[in-house]
Amino acid sequence: MYAVGEKIVYGENGVCTVESIGPLPMAGMPKDKDYYQLVPLIGTGNYFAPVDGGVYMRPVMSRDEAEALIDAIPDIEPAICNDSRFNHVDAYYKELFRQHSCTVLVSIVKGLHSRMTDRKSRSSRAEATMKRAKDMLHGELSVALDIDVKDVEDYIASRIAELN
């Protein structure tokens, strides 16, 4: 069980802070089942997730894991979908997001960046998918590295530059 104040990765929503634990604060809901009230690090609103399961949750990676991931970025293969049918492309990325892996998020960003550069055009769908992957990745890295989320991209770039 997670504790109030703890930051966790919640499903495909990215990093959230556990705001409270208890029954749902809504009329007519059973009072014998506990839920996490989760507030996203990036974005607005609240999520309510049952304490006893069903939804993917995990602790945020450690600082050492974050730095190892960043060091591995140059060697991570880009995720590229060669199918041009929108529903197949959407299914491809949905399946990748379901893996809940930061390495996969890096591969999505690298693949979409490459695709948009090669085509010299931007699709709103590709941009939205890349933003989602970056938000999830940068959110977790910011917590693990204890830096502001808007500083993550520069941190990644400087660390990779040091490796070369």
Local confidence band at 140 (pLDDT 50, 70, 90 cut-offs): very high
Helix (H, G, I), strand (E, B) or coil at 76: coil
pLDDT digits (tens, 9 = 90+) for 21-73: 999 877 887 788 899 999 999 988 999 999 987 889 999 999 999 999 999 99
Residue 158 has pLDDT above 70, yes or no: yes
Residue 148 has pLDDT above 80, yes or no: yes
Please give the mean pLDDT across all residues of the chain. Answer: 91
Query: Tokens 């499903």 identify what position?
Result: 11
Q: How many CB atoms lie within 10 A of CB 40?
A: 17
Residue 17 has pLDDT above 80, yes or no: yes
* Residues in Cβ contact with 67 at an 8 Å cutoff, skipping those fewer than 6 apart: 145, 159
Of 6, 60, 67, 12, nearest in space to 38 by CA: 6
Sheet holding 57-59, edge to edge: 47-50, 35-40, 15-22, 7-10, 57-59
What are the beta bridge partners of residue 36?
21, 49
Do 126 and 133 meet the contact criterion of CB atoms below 8 Å apart?
no
pLDDT on residue 10: 95
pLDDT on residue 84: 80
Q: What percent of the chain has pLDDT over 90?
A: 71
Q: What is the amino acid identity at position 51?
A: V
Q: Which residue has the higher pLDDT, 13 or 124?
A: 13
Residue 120 has pLDDT above 70, yes or no: no
pTM of the complete model beyond 0.85: yes
Distances (CA, A) of 79 to 32, 102, 105, 115, 148: 44, 13, 9, 10, 27
Local confidence band at 119 (pLDDT 50, 70, 90 cut-offs): low
Local confidence band at 98 (pLDDT 50, 70, 90 cut-offs): very high
